[in-house]
Every structure is written in C-alpha cells, then in structure tokens.
A and B are shown apart, each in its own frame.
Chain A
C-alpha cells in the first residue's frame, strides 16, 4: 500500500500559541482516513495544513514537512494554487457560490482551464454531478440558483464542485455535521464510493461515522496525535487508554 501523504514532525502555531505538536502520520492512497477528537483538539487545523488553507491566516506558522507524492508542499516555491487544485476540500458548512448549479460546478473547471470545449465543459459538469450522486435530482434545473437546493444537496454540490477539477486528495471538514440523518447517510455512501478513485481525509465528531466510512482513524487531543490505527482495531481494541476512554464516551 503506497502512502499518498506523509506528514513528519509537524508543528503548528497561531502566533505564539502552539496548536499542533510534532505530528507524524502517513495517509495511504485511495483510502479513507478519519480524524476524530474533542473540539479544539487541532484536527481541523491539521486538515487545513494539507492544502495550505491556513496560509490565509497571517499569524499562522508551520514547521515540519508535509509530502504529497514525495513532494514537500511547504518547500519554497511551491505553487499553492496548483496544490489546492490537486487537494480538494469540502467544508463543514456547505458554501455554494451565488451562481447557478451548473456554474457552481463549472467554475473550478473554468479557472483551471481543464475543458477543451463548451461541450466538454458540460460533459465534465454532468460527470461531477453524477459522481456526487446529485445528477438525477438537479438535471432539470441546472440553471437555477444553487441556494434553492436543500442543505444535503448543497453539500453534495460542493463535493461535485471539488470533484470537477480532478483532484487526487479530498479533504472533508465535518461534511455532514449540519445535515439530517438521511442526508448524512448519502454523504457517507458517497465517501465510500469515492475512495475507489480518491484519497480521502475526513474530520468528524461522529464516532459511528468514522467507524462506518474510514479505513484508518487518527485520534487527536490537545494538539497531539494520541493514536493512529486501523479503524477496526481502533474501535474494538485501541492501544491507548485515552482513545478507549474517548471512544466509549467516558469523557468529552
């Protein structure tokens, strides 16, 4: 099993405050890795170091290395724009653009110049919507506002938008936390389906969700990686006492 992302000795600071301590872990290709842990433990911060989304915060500082396909994404001269195209992201709150459904998906394709013709663009939009299991629900209203969709549909639209630019890795920051159980189930099925093609990292507060969708799970606490293991092992026979306490709900 090849490793897609290799993180070594990563420290992260917001100004003087350290948010992540010496994190090292490997994320295997075409698998789902779940990050769990109590609020404020640094799992979202960690996720956002993987596509350098934290660059938008002026006081953020990173040390250590994050290698994707053996290339250090924090090396000087790294093209952050190209990196983010390769590492897509889906956010906690769905954030469609104030455009039509079609234009939401087409936007990433357009700015990256991926399409060869107008017909190709339309094909790619349809493919992305099919891959995110939204096509049948929206095919008759592609030119209506994305804000007219339900919360779950909006989130799948955001996934379609991320898929459309053909990333290799997809980061999901609590993608289902604002959705009802049925919409959540759809997102989970989608995640399992998508791992055939993509490497997926998902942050979740929902223990069952981590158990259902992920191959490996990383448990964070107070900015430290407590345990990283196969999900099945993690939820049945964890190595760390702290992990067991958290998973069984003895605290947090």
Chain B
C-alpha cells in the first residue's frame, strides 16, 4: 500500500486540488459579474419605477413622464418578429435536421451560421434599404422585420440541434407503424424536441427584446402611444439609449429604471420558459 502515498500521487492530488479550485473561482467570477450587473441596475433603477413611469409617455425633462409607449412598442415589434421568426425558423430547423444531409442543407446551415454572426446594425441597414426607403418612413413594421431576420437563423439552428437529440429509434418506431415521413416529424419528433425548441425560441425572443442597433434605423422612436405598424414606434432599448445619452440626471435615472424593467422582463420570459417546459413525459 505504500504506492498509494508515494510522492507522485501527492503531486497529482495537489495539481488536482489547484485545478479544481481554479475552475471554481472562474465559475464564481462568471456568475458574480452577472449578479453585480443585476444588483447595480436594481439599486439605481428601482427608486424611479412608479405607475406613472410605467404608463405615461416621455415628457420634457423635469416634468416626469414614462415609458408606457416604449413598453407597448417593444411588445408589438417583438410579437411581429416572433410571428414571422418562430414558424420560419422552426420549419427551417426541422428541414435541416430531418432532410438536410446533402449539399443544399449544408449550404443553408453555413449561411445561417454566418447570419447569426452578422452584427445586428447591418441587419438594420438591410431592412432600412429594403423596407424603410420604399415606404418613405421608419415604422414598427420595419423594426419587427429587422428583429425577425435576426431571430430566424438562431431559432433554425437551435431547433435543428434539439431535433438531432431525438433518438433515431423513435423515428424508426413510427416509420415501422406505417407513418409517412412528414407525420413522423410532426407527430413524434417535434413533440419530443418541443421543450428544447421552446427554450431556444424564448431565448431568441429574449435576445431580440434586448436589441437596439437594428431598431435605430428601422423603427426610429416615438414620443406617443402608437398602435399601428406603419408608424415609427418606440422601444425600450432605443428609449434607454436616448435617456442614457441625454445630458440631464433625471434622464439618466429614467434610463436606469427602463433598464431594470427590460432586464426584469427578460428574466420573466426565461422563468416562464422553465415553467412551461417542465418534462411532462
């Protein structure tokens, strides 16, 4: 038994202990940064949140005002983006996973990956050229479309990865019963991957809710409540940008409060996802 306590083993144990603590410190550092950010936003933003702030429109500095129209605008544009981006993205992901094992699928996959890496402001310029210029003005429609373009490749790729996790034996089981390929994908594979796809979808929604750059050109901003997609539309992120770059302290505290609200909303989305996608079977 002396071999167990030989010096080489002591050395290995020490290296093991050092490396384990090192990774633990890094893990704490990663989550620690998140908590510092969240904590700071909460401290700076909480005092400015009130019913008036949540429902009113922006007013000149010193007269209060709020971000009610920005909340509505963000919700409307995110909704539009989700209505376009989720079906298209999920369908594309199903195609890539179930039928995309050839040059065409590989090309689509490569393009989707490239598109994910394209800076979002470029998507904004793209939609500006394609939608804003022909329409003659910025609009909620253009903003929603820009967000949808950002969303589609993310949803497509996460859907594909989730579907690939569904064991092949399940597909074979359905095929062996005489199910046509499309029913196998629709009835068996999609439900089996549903919780993963929903998670990916919600994360994509959370991601676009936090986008600013693509909205600057496309949705612009608005000081009023606007319920029509053909008009410029306010959003939380652009409103934060405006408030934060303004010269007055009152504007800065509005920016903090809006940030807190935005982060809170994204947190709520994530919690809802967790709740909805609990394993049923």
Interface size class of A (residues with CB under 8 A): 20 to 34
A84 near B167: Cβ-Cβ < 8 Å: no
With A58-B101, A145-B280 known as contacts, the answer to whether A91 contacts B169 (CB < 8 A) is yes
Give B42 Cβ to nearest chain A Cβ, in Å: 40
Please name all residues of chain B whose beta carbon is closer than 8 Å to the beta carbon of A88 when the two chains form the complex: 176-177
Number of A-B pairs whose CB atoms are under 8 Å? 72
**Interface residue A95 (Cβ < 8 Å from any Cβ of B):** yes
User: At the interface, yes or no: B103 with Cβ under 8 Å from chain A?
Assistant: no
User: Inside 8 A of A161's CB, which chain B residues have their CB?
Assistant: 173, 177
In the complex, what residues of B have CB within 8 A of residue A61's CB? none
Given contacts A95-B170, A98-B191, A145-B281, contact A84 B183 (CB under 8 A): no
User: Would you list which residues of chain B between 156 and 174 have a CB under 8 Å from chain A?
Assistant: 167, 169-174
The verdict on B122 contacting chain A, using a C-beta distance below 8 Å, is: no
Nearest chain B residue, comparing its CB with the CB of A52: B175
In contact, A84 and B173 (Cβ under 8 angstroms): no
- For B280, the closest partner residue in chain A by CB is A145
Roughly how many angstroms separate A81 CA and B176 CA in the complex, as a whole number?
8
How distant is A113 from chain B, measured CB to nearest CB, in Å?
11
With a cutoff of 8 Å between Cβ atoms, the chain A residues found around residue B101 in the complex are 58
**Do A93 and B179 touch across chains, with their CB atoms under 8 A apart?**
no
Contacts of B75 in A (CB 8 A): none
The answer, yes or no, to whether A99 is at the interface (CB within 8 Å) is: yes
* Identity of the chain A residue whose Cβ is nearest the Cβ of B170 in the assembled complex: A95
Within 8 A of B (CB), among A72-108: 81-85, 88-89, 91, 93, 95-100, 107-108
- Residue A242 at the chain B interface, CB threshold 8 Å: no
Smallest beta-carbon distance B98→chain A, Å: 11
Q: In terms of DSSP, what is the predominant structure of the interface of chain B?
A: helix
Closest residue to A86 on the B side, CB-wise?
B178
Taking the closest CB of chain B, its distance from the CB of A64, in whole angstroms, is 22
Of the residues B175, B178, B191, contact of A82 by C-beta under 8 Å: B178
Provide the residues of chain B in CB contact with A97, threshold 8 Å: 170, 173-174, 188, 192
Say yes or no for A51: interface residue by CB 8 A criterion: yes
Measured CA separation A73–B187 after assembly (Å)? 26
Q: Does A112 contact B (CB under 8 A)?
A: yes
Are B175's CB and A53's CB within 8 A? yes
The answer to whether B180 has its CB under 8 Å from any CB of chain A is yes
CB distance from A241 to the nearest CB of B (A): 37
The distance in angstroms between the C-alpha atoms of A81 and B173, with both chains bound, is 13
Separation of A111 and B180 alpha carbons in the complex (Å): 9
Closest to B188 in A: A97
Identify the closest chain B residue to A171 (Cβ): B176
A58 to B170, CA, bound (A): 19
**B contact residues, range:** 20 to 34
For A162, give its contact among B176, B180, B183, B187 (CB under 8 Å): B176
Q: Which residues of A contact B170 (CB under 8 A)?
A: 95, 97-98
A98 touches B173 (CB 8 A): no
Question: In the complex, which residue of chain A has the Cβ closest to the Cβ of B167?
Answer: A95
The reply to whether A107 and B174 form a contact with Cβ atoms under 8 Å apart is yes
Within 8 A of B (CB), among A153-167: 158, 161-162, 165
State the CA gap A51–B176 with chains docked (Å). 8
Chain B, Cβ-Cβ closest to A161? B177
Nearest to B183 among chain A residues (CB) is A111
**Residues of the A chain whose Cβ atoms lie less than 8 Å from the Cβ of B280:** 145
Q: Are A81 and B172 in contact (CB under 8 A)?
A: no
Chain A residues with CB below 8 A from B188, complex form = 97-98
Minimum C-beta distance from B14 to chain A (A)? 44
Chain A residues within 8 Å of B177, by CB = 84-85, 88, 107-108, 111-112, 161-162, 165
Q: Report the bound CA distance from A7 to B14 in whole Å.
A: 66
CB of A95 within 8 A of CB of B169, answer yes
How far is B180's CA from A112's CA once the two chains are assembled, in angstroms? 10
| Complex CA distance for A53 and B178, rounded to whole angstroms | 11
Q: Which of these, B173, B187, B192, contacts A111 with CB under 8 Å?
A: B187
Q: Which residues of A contact B179 (CB under 8 A)?
A: 81, 107-108, 111
Most chain A beta-carbon neighbours within 10 Å: one of B170, B172, B176, B187: B176
What 3 pairs between A and B have smallest CB-CB spacing?
A: A85-B178, A108-B177, A89-B176
A selection of 9 A-B contacts at a CB cut-off of 8 Å is A81-B180, A88-B176, A91-B172, A98-B192, A98-B281, A108-B179, A111-B178, A111-B183, A146-B281
Which B positions have Cβ atoms within 8 angstroms of A? 101, 167, 169-180, 183, 187-188, 191-192, 280-281
